Structure 1
Amino acid sequence: MDLIRNERAAVLNRSEERRGVMIPRTVEKIMCSRDGKREYRIMVAKPAAEPPPSGYPVIYLLDANSVFGTMEETVRVQGGRPEKTGVVPAVIVGIGYLTEAPFASARYYDFTMPSAVTEAPARPNGAAWPEQGGAESFLAFIEETVKPEIEREYTIDRGRQTIFGHSLGGLFVLQVLFTQPGLFQSYIAGSPSIHWNKRNLLEAERNFTARSDVDFGKIGLMVAIGELEKSHKSGIYDNAKELAERLSGLADRGLRLQFKSFEGEGHVSVLPALVSRAARFALSM
């Protein structure tokens, strides 16, 4: 028995046997903004199942360095048994950065509007925040570069598109919903940093709720946050809950709204639970 164990260990320790762990049916490429100044890691996961006649639903995932693997595994496992889970297979498109870190400083620019600089809270270490104000350019990159590429390579149902963001990414998701609600059908705003740009976001929200040209029956919004975020001095928990309460008035106009507070979870630990719930919200049969 010891001889067998030693032989197995020798095989596993051979340098030629050491390979990176691969996620099935995934690819990664580098894509640049149109001005060539910003580069992104685009990670794509394709279901094993053939696309339905209408095409695959698609989830566009911000901060992909931190959550692409979690979302891919969640959808792959749950989408493999839709009759049990209610989750259908989908293409996952992660938009990340050229770093091995879970989060990149470039997100401060990509996820914030220009006016956000005046409302950003003081940084804990007293240093200046990275450059901000590029949300419009980042959204144009998604719409004009990423989406067309994905739709050329995969059979996509353009009537079932989701955008997922957390923290500043959640703020970005809300900005897109309030200003261009027709770009996606499901919006997932996890722990949104509303305090970062609260005045302008509230104005955008008021304009959104007053619009008569929006088919709210085709829009779903999930606002989620960790229970432990109640103690954060930014008021992030109350901001998210109050936003959901205000938007609940749109239910009569068809808006599919869900607010979820995850018990025992904080700003970062909430992510795995949020991903699972978001998959069910976006991909329910």
Structure 2
Amino acid sequence: MTFHNSSNALVGNTTFHDLVSGGNGQTYRVFVYRPPGEAPEHGWPILYMTDGNAVIGTAVDAMRAQANYPGGTNVSHGIIVSIGYPTDAAYDPLRRSWDLGPPPGKTYPPFFANTPEVRTGGAEAFLSFVEGQVKPLVEAELPVDPERQALFGHSFGGLFVLYALFTRPASFSTWLAASPSIYWEDCAINAFFAQFSANPATRQGARLHLSCGEYETDRLAPFHKGAADEAERIEKLKIARTDHYAFEMAERLHALPNRPIAVDVEIHPGENHMSLLPVAVNRAVQRAFAIRK
């Protein structure tokens, strides 16, 4: 059997734009979902996302499915902007390592033979690109509610969300860090927490949602038990301690004077580090576009 008259499937109401960073000269692929109909009086709420290639389809469909039934879902329509790379793959591992890793960063062996070394530490330049180029372009095209802007990231992206919160706390009002790699480079993110705690200038009503999967805790996924790499995986879980660091971060933020940001932590049953992604994307949609808090 053969299919006839086939064509590429497209994400509804979504375009992509290859944008060159004025800071590092690199090209990024920026996906933009435009809601149907007229914007609310104060503009559309907006959700910015890292790892744009991997998340845009899930985010748009999760929002479209729920926003059509707002009374039952508490989800409204809004703008989704996901920032990725000019590739058909879900990820560009080399570039995301640099873009999402907090400075100063380090250098690591290549992911694959005959490829460049892996570098981290470019988060400040990437954040400047988002703030200085992506946001102004979106806001020139679409009416955006300045008080309802959210940022989502997963894994290294979750670490980037924390870096953005700690260095530019007024940039967004809703912060969504899924499986954040807080342990990375000996918890280097803590240096930026100290900067934030000295001047936690968040927006009024700011919220941070931290999450991870059940199998990112000290629990090994059932399908890994008895596998050849079981012991290795257990050791990696002990190092990452994703749930531990998330709860610890929440406690430290709650302990700050006047509670500059509300924080909650969610553990998703039955999910591992990668299977968490679509679940976390859906939760980001629900938080970013919530009609009632």
Give TM-score, length-normalised by structure 2: 0.85
Deviates more, 1:93-102 or 1:30-39: 30-39
2:20 to 8, 27, 32: 32
Asked if the contact 1:217–1:256 (Cα under 8 Å) also holds between the matched residues in 2, the reply is no
Equivalence for 1:3: none
Name segments (4+ residues, structure 1) moved above 6 Å. Answer: 122-128
CA shift for structure 1 position 202: 1.3
Distance 1:33 1:254, change over 3 A: closer
How many residues matched? 270
Equivalence for 2:67: 79
Q: For residues 129 and 238 of structure 1, what CA distance do their matches in structure 2 show? A: 30
CA shift for structure 1 position 238: 1.6
Residues 174-207 of structure 1: per-residue CA shift (max 9 Å, x gap): 0010111001111110101111144431132133
1:225 to 192, 212, 215: 212
Equivalence for 1:92: 80
Q: For residues 217 and 257 of structure 2, what CA distance do their matches in structure 1 show? A: 26
Question: For residue 158 of structure 2, what is the amino acid of its counterpart?
Answer: G
CA shift for structure 1 position 218: 2.8
Q: For residues 167 and 264 of structure 1, what CA distance do their matches in structure 2 show? A: 17
Q: For residues 23 and 199 of structure 1, what CA distance do their matches in structure 2 show? A: 37
Residues 246-279 of structure 1: per-residue CA shift (max 9 Å, x gap): 2233595352222100011000000111112222
Equivalence for 2:106: 117
Asked if the contact 2:43–2:144 (Cα under 8 Å) also holds between the matched residues in 1, the reply is yes
1:62 aligns with 2:50: yes
Asked if the contact 1:109–1:131 (Cα under 8 Å) also holds between the matched residues in 2, the reply is yes
Q: For residues 12 and 18 of structure 2, what CA distance do their matches in structure 1 show? A: 19
Secondary structure of 1:19's aligned partner: coil
Secondary structure of 2:255's aligned partner: helix
Asked if the contact 1:167–1:192 (Cα under 8 Å) also holds between the matched residues in 2, the reply is yes
Equivalence for 2:226: none
Output the aligned Cα RMSD: 2.4
Question: For residue 117 of structure 1, what is the amino acid of its counterpart?
Answer: K
1:13 aligns with 2:8: no
CA shift for structure 1 position 102: 1.2
Q: For residues 256 and 161 of structure 2, what CA distance do their matches in structure 1 show? A: 18
Distance 1:216 1:210, change over 3 A: farther
Asked if the contact 1:115–1:197 (Cα under 8 Å) also holds between the matched residues in 2, the reply is no
Question: For residue 115 of structure 1, what is the amino acid of its counterpart?
Answer: P
1:172 to 147, 154, 160: 160
CA shift for structure 1 position 241: 2.2
Going by fraction, where is helix more abundant, 1 or 2? 1
1:258 aligns with 2:264: yes
CA shift for structure 1 position 131: 2.2
Residues 139-191 of structure 1: per-residue CA shift (max 9 Å, x gap): 11111111111001111111111111000111010001011100111111010
Q: For residues 160 and 142 of structure 1, what CA distance do their matches in structure 2 show? A: 16
Deviates more, 1:125-134 or 1:53-62: 125-134
Secondary structure of 1:75's aligned partner: helix
Residues 211-231 of structure 1: per-residue CA shift (max 9 Å, x gap): 2x6246431100010110114
1:181 to 150, 160, 169: 169
Q: For residues 150 and 284 of structure 1, what CA distance do their matches in structure 2 show? A: 21
2:196 to 202, 205, 208: 208
Q: For residues 103 and 195 of structure 2, what CA distance do their matches in structure 1 show? A: 19
Q: For residues 132 and 152 of structure 2, what CA distance do their matches in structure 1 show? A: 18
1:241 aligns with 2:231: no
Percent identity, please: 34
Asked if the contact 1:164–1:188 (Cα under 8 Å) also holds between the matched residues in 2, the reply is yes
Distance 1:278 1:128, change over 3 A: same
1:46 aligns with 2:34: yes
Q: For residues 254 and 217 of structure 1, what CA distance do their matches in structure 2 show? A: 8
Residues 28-47 of structure 1: per-residue CA shift (max 9 Å, x gap): 11001004621111111111
Equivalence for 1:4: none
Q: For residues 40 and 137 of structure 2, what CA distance do their matches in structure 1 show? A: 20
Q: For residues 216 and 200 of structure 1, what CA distance do their matches in structure 2 show? A: 25
